[in-house]
């Protein structure tokens, strides 16, 4: 299972507590994880990336394993620890706005 | 006894204020959607417990929320606002062409006769319509693709479509206003549009009486006399008696004719309300005195309404969608400030009292008169 951590506002919007666990078929990429997330929680469509699957909203960042993956190609594989479920994939509202 | 429900959108959430027809005791609920900007909350005239709210944030974009129980509970509905076809360009602040980009919904206008139909005015300026209670939105592209659109430019707050008026007497007639493009009228239910800005005069644009380019802040209509419209422009308070074919100034004795909201008394089509603001750079009331001005003559002759409003050291603003008027016999007037106060008058403006004092900055105020 892929573990995903949402920012607080999106947890409220999706009505979830804590981490989200997702089953991802095939290669575990950022696109595949976001596709699975939006399929489970359609209310999140448009809040992380464009409705058509991209691009990432400017003040949303993607982290995992202490790396900033925000600018990585969406179809690149995520770190093995994320694919194995030992590390979460973090969706973060960027620090901005004071 | 009748009831009133005031719907308040703020920089950090929505609030719902309820009172009976006496309007002297208020119950405040909220914040709903805390931390998000709520540009507008509006109720359906056809089904008053159905409310729509525009929820947005710079981080996570646009969400539309709907309530079917008067604001007690909410459900997110559709949030995809996709311009129809080629988006084209408008002028950017530096005069260069800039592609249309959706930013947020500024104003929601539910249809009077169908609870599933609602219009949305958005930034960058466009008009959308839902016929399924907000689940799906389709643009009425005739406005954004008007031949003058490449010359439209954003006002300081963005290029927003902030006013939507559905004419109750002429099926298919509607008005929209855009900052900074001007006022537009459709006579075919939003398919095609014409600018209706003749008579407007704006010193800040190269051609002061151009067909488009005017920074219209708000337009208001009395439903019993729909050919008359009142406008608060960036500067100047204006009136048309022929559905926008020509406008004339009615600023008269106002201390300043800059401001944002404008409203019309529920039972007196010639009674108009504005909140004069010192200037476009000051954005606070003249002399630190918060005064609503009322004309009972359809403009030109204005009286200051001050009883119950702060008359010293007051430096708040009142934004364009932050005034509303109920339809009880003793007409109620409401407005919210950037300082987080919501003021109400139950006597057509003669006296005022705060019904909420310390909310986040108020972006919008609507009121529903309920049986």
The number of C-beta contacts closer than 8 angstroms across A and B is: 39
Neighbours of B347 (CB within 10 A): 14
Give yes or no for a cis peptide into A55 (omega within 30° of 0): yes
From its phi and psi, is residue B2 left (phi > 0), alpha (psi between -120 and 50) or beta? beta
Average model confidence (pLDDT) for chain A?
96
Tokens of A40: 């489970």
- Rounded to an integer, the average pLDDT of A51-79 is 95
The span from the CA of A49 to the CA of B135, in Å, is 19
pLDDT of A9 reads: 97
B80 touches chain A (CB under 8 A): yes
Residue A98 pLDDT exceeds 80: no
pLDDT at B66: 98
The pLDDT of residue B25: 97
Contact assessment for residue B218 and residue B160, using Cβ atoms and an 8 Å cutoff: no
pLDDT at B206: 87
How much is the pLDDT for A96? Answer: 75
Find the angle CA(B153)-CA(B157)-CA(B159) to the nearest 5 degrees. 35
Tell me how close the Cα of B270 comes to any Cα of chain A, in angstroms: 44
Dihedral pair phi/psi, residue B279, rounded to 5°: -165, 175
Q: Are B326 and B266 in contact (CB under 8 A)?
A: yes
Which two three-digit tokens encode residue B155? 């006002």
The predicted pLDDT at position B320 comes to 98
Mind telling me how many Å the CA of B73 is from chain A's nearest CA?
Answer: 13
Angstroms from A49 CA to nearest CA on chain B = 9
At B85 the pLDDT is 94
CB contact under 8 A, A47 and B76: no
User: Rounded to two decimals, what is the model's pTM?
Assistant: 0.97
For residues B55 and B64, the answer to whether their CB atoms sit within 8 Å is yes
Say how far apart CA B356 and CA B105 lie, in whole Å. 25
Give me the residue spans of the domains in chain A: 2-93
- CB-side exposure of A79: number of CA atoms within 13 Å? 17
CB contact at 8 A, A94 and A65: no
- Using only the alpha carbons of chain A, give its radius of gyration: 12
Matching CATH number, A2-93, of 3.10.129.10, 3.10.20.30, 1.20.1080.10, 3.30.1490.190: 3.10.20.30
- Which residues of chain A approach chain B closer than 8 Å at the C-beta? 7, 9-10, 13, 43, 45-48, 51, 57, 59-60, 93-94, 96-97
Q: CA of B34: which chain A residue's CA is closest? A: A9
Residue A97 pLDDT class (50, 70, 90 cuts): low
Nearest to B59 among A46, A51, A57 (CB): A57
Q: What is the pLDDT along chain B (371 residues), one digit of tens a residue?
A: 799 999 999 999 999 999 999 999 999 999 999 999 999 999 999 999 999 999 999 999 999 999 999 999 999 999 999 999 999 999 998 889 999 999 999 999 999 999 999 999 999 999 999 999 999 999 999 999 999 999 999 988 899 999 999 999 999 999 999 999 999 999 999 999 999 999 999 988 889 999 999 999 999 999 999 999 999 999 999 999 999 999 999 999 999 999 999 999 999 999 999 999 999 999 999 999 999 999 999 999 999 999 999 999 999 999 999 999 999 999 999 999 999 999 999 999 999 999 999 999 999 999 999 99
Cα separation, B24 vs B108, in Å, equals 28
């Amino acid at each position: 299972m892929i573990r995903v951590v949402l920012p607080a506002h999106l947890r409220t919007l999706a009505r979830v507590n804590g981490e989200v666990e997702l089953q991802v078929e095939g290669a575990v990429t950022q696109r595949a994880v976001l596709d699975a997330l939006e399929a489970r929680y359609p209310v999140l469509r448009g809040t992380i990336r464009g409705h058509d699957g991209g691009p990432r909203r400017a003040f949303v960042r993607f982290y995992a394993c202490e790396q900033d993956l925000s600018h990585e190609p969406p179809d690149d594989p995520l770190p093995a620890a994320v694919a194995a479920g030992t590390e979460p994939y973090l969706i973060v509202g960027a620090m901005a706005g004071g | 006894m009748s009831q009133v429900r005031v719907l308040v959108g703020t920089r950090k959430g929505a609030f719902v204020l309820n009172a009976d027809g006496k309007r002297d005791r208020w119950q405040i609920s909220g914040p709903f959607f805390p931390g998000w900007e709520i540009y507008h909350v509006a109720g359906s005239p056809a089904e008053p417990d159905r409310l729509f709210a525009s929820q947005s944030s710079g981080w996570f974009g646009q969400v539309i929320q709907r309530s079917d129980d008067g604001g007690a509970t909410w459900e997110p509905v559709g949030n995809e606002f996709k311009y129809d076809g080629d988006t084209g360009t408008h002028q950017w602040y530096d005069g260069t062409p800039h592609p249309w980009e959706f930013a947020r919904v500024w104003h929601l206008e539910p249809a009077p006769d169908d609870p599933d139909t609602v219009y949305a005015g958005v930034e960058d300026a466009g008009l959308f319509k839902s016929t399924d209670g907000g689940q799906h939105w389709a643009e009425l592209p005739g406005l954004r693709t008007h031949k003058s659109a490449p010359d439209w430019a954003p006002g300081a707050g963005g290029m927003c479509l902030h006013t939507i008026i559905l004419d109750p007497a002429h099926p298919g007639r509607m008005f929209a206003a855009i900052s900074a493009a001007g006022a537009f009228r459709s006579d075919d239910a939003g398919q095609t549009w014409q600018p209706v800005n003749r008579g407007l005069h704006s010193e800040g644009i190269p051609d002061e009486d151009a067909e488009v380019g005017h920074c219209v802040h708000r337009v208001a209509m009395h439903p019993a006399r729909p050919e008359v419209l009142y406008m608060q422009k960036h500067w100047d308070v204006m009136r048309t008696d022929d559905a926008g074919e020509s406008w004339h100034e009615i600023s008269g004795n106002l201390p300043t004719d800059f401001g944002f909201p404008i409203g019309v008394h529920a039972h007196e089509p010639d009674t108009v309300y504005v909140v004069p603001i010192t200037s476009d750079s000051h954005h606070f009331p003249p002399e630190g005195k918060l005064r609503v001005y009322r004309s009972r003559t359809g403009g030109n002759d204005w009286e200051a309404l001050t009883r119950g409003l702060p008359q010293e050291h007051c430096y708040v603003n009142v934004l364009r969608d932050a005034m509303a008027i109920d339809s009880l016999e003793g007409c109620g007037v409401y407005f919210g400030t950037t300082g987080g106060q919501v003021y109400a008058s139950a006597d057509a403006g003669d006296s005022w009292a705060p019904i909420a004092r310390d909310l986040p900055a108020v972006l919008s105020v609507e009121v529903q008169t309920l049986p």
